[in-house]
Amino acid sequence: MNLPDSRKNEEALAKLLEESHKIRGVSLWKDAWRRLRRNRPAMASLIFLIGLGLVAFLTPMLPLQSPLDKDLNNRRFLSPSFEPITMGSREGLKFADGKLTSQLALFEAEIAAETAEALAINDPLKQAEQFESIQDRIRVEHPFNQLWNQLGSVSFKMVQIRVAIFGDYAIPSIFGTDKLGRDLLARVFWGARVSLVVGLVATLVSLMIGVSYGAIAGYFGGWIDAAMMRIVDMLYSIPFIFVVIYLVTFLGEESVKAWLESYGIDQIMIFYIIIGAIYWLTMSRVVRGQVLSLRQEQFVESARTIGASPMRIVFRHLVPNVLGIVIVYLTLTIPAVMLFEAFLSFLGLGVAPPDVSWGLLLNDGVEALSSVKLFWWVVIFPGAALAMTLFALNFLGDGLRDALDPKMKNR
Amino acid sequence: MKDLLGFLIRRLGWMAITLWAVYTVSFVLMRAAPGSPFSAERAMPPAIEQQMRARYNLDAPPLQQYWDYMWGILSRGDLSWSIKLEDYSVNQVIAEGFPVSASLAIFALVFAIILGVSAGVISAVYRGTVADVAMMATAVLGIAIPNFVLASIAILLFVFLIPLFPAAGWGTLRQVALPAICLGLPVAAYIARLTRAGMLESLSREHVRTAFAKGLPKRTVIIKHVLPGALLPVVSYLGPATAGVLTGSLVLEKIFALPGMGSHFIYAATQRDTTLATGMVLTYTVLLFVMNTIVDLAYAVIDPRVELE
Amino acid sequence: MNAAQTTHTSTEGSGSTTAEPPLLRVNDLKVHFPFRRGSLFNPEQGLIRAVDGVSFDIAKGETLGLVGESGCGKSTTARAIINLVHPTSGDVQVDGKSIAGLSDKEMLPYRRRVQMVFQDPFASLNPRMTVGGIIGEPLTVHKLASGKDRQLEVLRLMELVGLNPRFLNRYPHEFSGGQRQRIGIARALAVQPDLILCDEPVSALDVSIQAQIINLMMDLQQRLGVAYLFIAHDLAVVRHIATRVGVMYLGRIAELGTAEELYADPKHPYTEALLSAVPVPDPTIAANRRRIVLQGEVPSPDKHYPGCSFADRCPIVVDRCRTDRPGLPDRSHAAACWERDDPPEV
């Protein structure tokens, strides 16, 4: 390669590069971010959603009551109140001193004793047996497992931290209780976890399928595109909601469930896949449309003129310009998915107890409304939570769409 | 004309292929799932088993059953027998529910279109005023609140608090009104947003500015020049809107205890009545296909630039 | 149509050049697009003859200007030459080697010899890449330089086209139209091509900037010896930069000659009309010259003309023009007109 005419030496070059870095331009992403920041509702929504995500993640650590602890005798349909509550005080639990901390201490002592006994056994087989029965005992009788359902290891540790910090204190039932005496505040928080995860994961599934499918169809065009889009059109005309319900019908059959579980697929995962499999259609259409129009753009033509390979064109030129619209549709798909989950749960085909989701809560709430007395809190609080989240996602999506508007590109 | 016929024939062809695909997948699932009519372990009530044996020869090899069932559908429109509802064929159940669901859906759609378009037009014409903001805020509400919550609140307000409508049942106009409104509201909200956006875009067009400059009265301009262009996206939305209404009807029929197809479908799903579920899925598919075709035709008629594929 | 009957014009007039093939030879190039249109109830099928038999040569270091109205097929010609669009028939040769219809992969080595500068300075640069990245991309694709060397080369190119090298890390939307066109030129120069196809490179710029860019291009031609195919719809612009000029009408070449010959003594009636429409600053001259205003319908590339495509609007049309199609005679200054020159029949 030729040396520069003006014979710049190393130092001058370095200085030049440094300067160019300092006056580095504002990329379109930064530009869009700036525009988004000026949009107040969108930013408020973003903050709300981030906050919601954090709170949902930290829920096991928060001083909430148990979401599944039923009290059919004393606490059915209590209206919202500030009456103080102690963890583990329900008679039916039979916790020592009616307190969680006490029972926990007692249980841990017992387990420690049994473990010590087990260690003393000589016969390895018997020892293994003994250890197993200890594990079983923990699984069933550990106070945490009586108050919460299927805690993963991380959640388990979080609950331990919570007890260490807050002891037996729990926020009173400011959202009231439901028909089985369960605290609604706790259920809303724990339900958030499930609903949000379903929304995110299913959307991601639809994203992966949709973007690849659409990009391939859009880039190659011709008969490949025609064939792929025909398939999409066909699938579009099937009322997918019904197919999903239909599939859930089959997959809910006891024997089928067992068969699937033997493969390690549980119902929730099927859920994700099925929902994701519905929503990829729109994403693929959107991506394909965008790729098709981008293909005609002159900068893609110039990339071909330079001699760039198709891979290079797709990844360095097309994808970055498609990401914008993908992000917008992401934020608009998540609420659709969450609504759909609520819908399914309402019909009794979604998340099953003892798991909680906002949809399930709404189902309970609607049932509560049908009775004679007005138990408004059972439907209002979960409904408000869902509505606020959906609002936020919609506002954020609208704001993103404005911020990433390609018309602004050539200011 | 030739092209139109060609288009319709192609569409029919696609519908046939789609239906066949749905049918095949259903059949495979039915065979695989134990306890359903075509599988090896049959735990059906004897009455049903008798009828199915007579029709579809359940001892025959799988392929034979596949053909028989399909032939039954194609030649006689016979969708087999419901497993859980003894003495009822799937056809009977569908025939019973269809008029109810259909009228509910139509009422809801008409309501949605009227409300949505009007709201959208007013919003666009009086852009930026209180009316506009209020309407659009309500529209967002319609989209963010699930329609069964809406329905429950509506029942609370209009049945218990202010007894305007009866809570359940079917037959009079009064009884249709509340479910149709609840079903149509989210759709109306979306249509309002679409109409408003379309109107705003249409209002900024050159030919509209010319019309105003000519001195034509405002109402005439809006109705004759602005509205047609603005309505195109609404027309193309009608396809998904129908799907949405059909979906929503599932829930609302449950809440309002309406004897339509939707509640039967839910029943079939929760009770694992596979033949009934299959029959209904096929029916819904046909409905949706027909609606989409009508929408495409309407679109091609309204916008002369559009080609029918 | 075999080689003997082709109607290409070599750079004759200055002696035979059959010994060594020219840098670029375009031979009876045709690009046709089939289409279907019409309403639901009245469909029709047709053919758009965007390029309908175009032939010319370009020698090393020279500039061929290609002029014509919008829609006459000039851009499509350029695209067909480098296979962005595949020619329907005809041949394109670079240094005697045929490249018409090659796939993108096969075209790769030729991309180093022939490059292109596009019309729209806004749309021809990827908005999400830095300027340095855009200019350096050809170097990466053809593995000509990497790392520090590449950066050096990019800086050199930026200086060459008159851009401040400090702006290496800025984005296209932060530059003006003229500067973006310079970026496009720098990118085209990165592979050190022998020929650059310029598709209306200054049409989208302000008049004062146009002059700057044209001067830059002429300067580069002098320094680097690069040849240009310069496409424009403005005769005045082309006059400055071109050695030879071709006038296109409806997918065919109406007249071809050196710049002096064409401007001083136009043969084809279409060229005359075009020239007479060029504004002249001196009011006296402007008042006294003859304005030729074309009558008749604006041409449509989907209509088929059995004779000369200009017949409907030609002020000197005779009967033969409507039935026999004139080709381009094989001499230095040639016009496809029965009345004004001696064309072969095509």
- Comparing B8 with C71, the larger pLDDT belongs to B8
Of A246, A248, A391, nearest to B144 by CB-CB distance is A391
Task: Please name which of C77, C341, C74 lies closest in space to residue C234, comparing C-alpha atoms.
Answer: C74
Is the CA virtual torsion B276, B278, B279, B283 positive or negative? positive
How is residue A45 written in tokens? 């929504």
What confidence score (pLDDT) does residue C5 get?
38
Task: Tell whether the model's pLDDT for residue C341 goes beyond 60.
Answer: yes
How is residue B55 written in tokens? 């029709």
Contact call for A246 and B277, based on CB within 8 A: yes
Averaged pLDDT, B214-234: 78
How is residue C179 written in tokens? 């500067």
Averaged pLDDT, B83-95: 75
Cβ of C45 under 8 Å from any chain B Cβ?
Answer: no
Cβ of A212 under 8 Å from any chain C Cβ?
Answer: no
Is the CA virtual torsion B251, B254, B259, B262 positive or negative? positive
Cβ of A28 under 8 Å from any chain C Cβ?
Answer: yes
Report which listed range, A2-16, C41-55, C167-181, is most confident: C167-181
How is residue B269 written in tokens? 């799903």
> Does residue B155 belong to any structural domain of this protein?
yes
Cβ of B8 under 8 Å from any chain C Cβ?
Answer: no
Cβ of B13 under 8 Å from any chain A Cβ?
Answer: no
Cβ-based contacts of C35 with chain B (< 8 Å): none
Cβ of B157 under 8 Å from any chain A Cβ?
Answer: no
Count of structural domains within chain B: 1
Cβ of C152 under 8 Å from any chain A Cβ?
Answer: yes
> Does residue B90 belong to any structural domain of this protein?
no
Cβ of A311 under 8 Å from any chain C Cβ?
Answer: no
Q: How confident is the model at residue C16 (pLDDT cuts 50, 70, 90)?
A: very low
Mean pLDDT score across all residues of chain C: 84
Task: Tell whether the model's pLDDT for residue C38 goes beyond 60.
Answer: no
All domains in chain A, ordered by first residue: 43-58+181-404 (1.10.3720.10), 86-170 (no CATH)
The fraction of chain A above a pLDDT of 90, given in percent, is 3
Find the distance separating the first CA and the last CA of chain A, reported in whole Å.
37
What confidence score (pLDDT) does residue B203 get?
76
How is residue A222 written in tokens? 């011709």
Cβ-based contacts of B7 with chain C (< 8 Å): 40
Write the pLDDT tens digit of every residue in B27-60: 777 666 655 666 655 566 677 677 777 766 666 7
The minimum CA-CA distance between C39 and chain B, rounded to whole Å, is 6
Of A239, A249, A391, nearest to B285 by CB-CB distance is A239
- Comparing A278 with A259, the larger pLDDT belongs to A278
Q: What's CA B305's distance to the chain center, in Å?
A: 28
Cβ of C82 under 8 Å from any chain A Cβ?
Answer: yes
d(C-alpha B102, C-alpha A286), whole Å = 32
Nearest chain C residue to B304 by CA distance is C39
Report which listed range, B247-251, C177-181, C340-344, is most confident: C177-181
Identify each DSSP E strand in A103-196 by its residue range: 169-170
Question: How many CB atoms are located within 10 Å of the residue A54 CB?
Answer: 10
Write the pLDDT tens digit of every residue in C219-273: 999 999 999 999 988 788 888 889 999 999 888 898 999 988 888 888 898 888 8
- Comparing A187 with A406, the larger pLDDT belongs to A187
Contact call for B144 and A248, based on CB within 8 A: no
What confidence score (pLDDT) does residue C6 get?
40
For A43, the 3-state DSSP assignment is helix
Cβ of A372 under 8 Å from any chain C Cβ?
Answer: no
Task: Please name which of B61, B41, B7, B86 lies closest in space to residue B275, comparing C-alpha atoms.
Answer: B86
How is residue A36 written in tokens? 């988004």
Q: Are B177 and B165 in contact (CB under 8 A)?
A: yes
Cβ-based contacts of B300 with chain C (< 8 Å): 40
Chains that touch A (3 or more CB pairs under 8 A): B, C
> Does residue B62 belong to any structural domain of this protein?
no
Chains that touch C (3 or more CB pairs under 8 A): A, B
d(C-alpha C69, C-alpha C254), whole Å = 12
> Does residue B9 belong to any structural domain of this protein?
no
What confidence score (pLDDT) does residue C66 get?
93
What confidence score (pLDDT) does residue B275 get?
76
Task: Tell whether the model's pLDDT for residue A255 goes beyond 80.
Answer: no
Write the pLDDT tens digit of every residue in A207-224: 888 888 888 888 887 788
Residue C249, phi then psi, degrees to nearest 5: -140, 120
Task: Tell whether the model's pLDDT for residue C10 goes beyond 60.
Answer: no
Cβ of A319 under 8 Å from any chain C Cβ?
Answer: no
Task: Tell whether the model's pLDDT for residue A264 goes beyond 80.
Answer: no
> Does residue B2 belong to any structural domain of this protein?
no
Contact call for C41 and B300, based on CB within 8 A: no
Write the pLDDT tens digit of every residue in C260-308: 888 888 889 888 888 887 777 777 777 777 777 777 666 777 777 788 8
**What residues make up the domain containing B290?**
95-300
Partner C, chain B 261-300, Cβ-Cβ below 8 Å: 300
Nearest chain C residue to B296 by CA distance is C40
- Comparing B250 with C161, the larger pLDDT belongs to C161
Amino acid at position C24, single letter? L
What confidence score (pLDDT) does residue B34 get?
58
What confidence score (pLDDT) does residue C42 get?
60
Nearest chain B residue to C43 by CA distance is B3
Write the pLDDT tens digit of every residue in A119-162: 887 788 888 888 888 888 887 778 787 788 777 778 888 888 88
Contacts with A336 (C-beta within 8 Å, 6 or more apart), sequence order: A279
What confidence score (pLDDT) does residue B42 get?
58
Contact call for A304 and C145, based on CB within 8 A: no
Contact call for B246 and A252, based on CB within 8 A: no
How is residue C124 written in tokens? 């021809």
Chains that touch B (3 or more CB pairs under 8 A): A, C
> Does residue B159 belong to any structural domain of this protein?
yes
What confidence score (pLDDT) does residue A5 get?
46
All domains in chain C, ordered by first residue: 24-36+43-335 (3.40.50.300)
What confidence score (pLDDT) does residue A7 get?
52
Cβ-based contacts of A299 with chain C (< 8 Å): 123-127
Sheet order of strands, C63-67 included: C114-117, C195-199, C227-232, C63-67, C244-249, C252-258, C334-335
Write the pLDDT tens digit of every residue in B260-309: 888 888 777 767 677 777 788 888 888 888 887 887 777 777 766 665 55
Partner A, chain C 176-235, Cβ-Cβ below 8 Å: 184, 187, 191
Averaged pLDDT, C328-343: 86
Contact call for C126 and A16, based on CB within 8 A: no
For C19, the 3-state DSSP assignment is coil
Q: Between A and B, how many residue pairs show a Cβ–Cβ distance under 8 A?
A: 127
Nearest chain A residue to B145 by CA distance is A387
Write the pLDDT tens digit of every residue in A26-54: 777 787 888 888 888 888 989 999 999 99
Q: Are C83 and C102 in contact (CB under 8 A)?
A: yes
Cβ of C56 under 8 Å from any chain A Cβ?
Answer: no
Contact call for A411 and C173, based on CB within 8 A: yes
Cβ of B185 under 8 Å from any chain A Cβ?
Answer: no
Task: Tell whether the model's pLDDT for residue A181 goes beyond 70.
Answer: yes
The fraction of chain C above a pLDDT of 70, given in percent, is 91
> Does residue B55 belong to any structural domain of this protein?
no
Mean pLDDT score across all residues of chain B: 77
d(C-alpha B241, C-alpha A51), whole Å = 34
Contact call for B254 and A347, based on CB within 8 A: yes
For C28, the 3-state DSSP assignment is strand
- Comparing B101 with C245, the larger pLDDT belongs to C245
What confidence score (pLDDT) does residue C190 get?
93
Mean pLDDT score across all residues of chain A: 79
What confidence score (pLDDT) does residue C186 get?
94
CATH number at residue B233: 1.10.3720.10
Task: Tell whether the model's pLDDT for residue C14 goes beyond 50.
Answer: no
Sheet order of strands, C89-94 included: C42-58, C24-39, C89-94, C97-98
What is the per-residue DSSP string for chain B?
Answer: -HHHHHHHHHHHHHHHHHHHHHHHHHHHHHHHSTTSTTSSS----HHHHHHHHHHH-TTS-HHHHHHHHHHHHHHH----B-SSSTT-BHHHHHHHHHHHHHHHHHHHHHHHHHHHHHHHHHHHHTTTSHHHHHHHHHHHHHHHS-HHHHHHHHHIIIIIIS--S-SS--SSHHHHHHHHHHHHHHHHHHHHHHHHHHHHHHHTSHHHHHHHHHT--HHHIIIIIIHHHHHHHHHHHHHHHHHHHHHHHHHHHHHTT--SHHHHHHHHHHTT-HHHHHHHHHHHHHHHHHHHHHHHHHHHHH-TTPPP-
> Does residue B234 belong to any structural domain of this protein?
yes
Question: How many CB atoms are located within 10 Å of the residue A369 CB?
Answer: 21
Paired with C46 in beta bridges are C35
Residue B82, phi then psi, degrees to nearest 5: -70, 140
Of A234, A249, A376, nearest to B18 by CB-CB distance is A234
d(C-alpha C110, C-alpha C114), whole Å = 6
**ipTM given for this complex:** 0.78
Substitution target in C103, C112, C124, C176 with the highest count of A β-carbons within 10 Å is C124
Write the pLDDT tens digit of every residue in A313-369: 877 888 778 887 788 778 878 888 888 888 878 777 777 777 888 888 888 887 777
Contact call for A20 and C165, based on CB within 8 A: yes
Contact call for A316 and C129, based on CB within 8 A: yes
d(C-alpha A105, C-alpha A170), whole Å = 18
Substitution target in A49, A230, A236, A249 with the highest count of B β-carbons within 10 Å is A249
Check residue C7 and report its DSSP letter. -
Task: Tell whether the model's pLDDT for residue C77 goes beyond 50.
Answer: yes
d(C-alpha A261, C-alpha A266), whole Å = 5
Contact call for C111 and A320, based on CB within 8 A: no
The length of chain C, given as a count of residues: 346
Averaged pLDDT, C157-169: 89
Of A27, A307, A312, nearest to C108 by CB-CB distance is A307
Cβ of C84 under 8 Å from any chain A Cβ?
Answer: yes
Cβ-based contacts of A241 with chain B (< 8 Å): 243, 246-247, 250
Of B149, B243, B251, nearest to A383 by CB-CB distance is B149
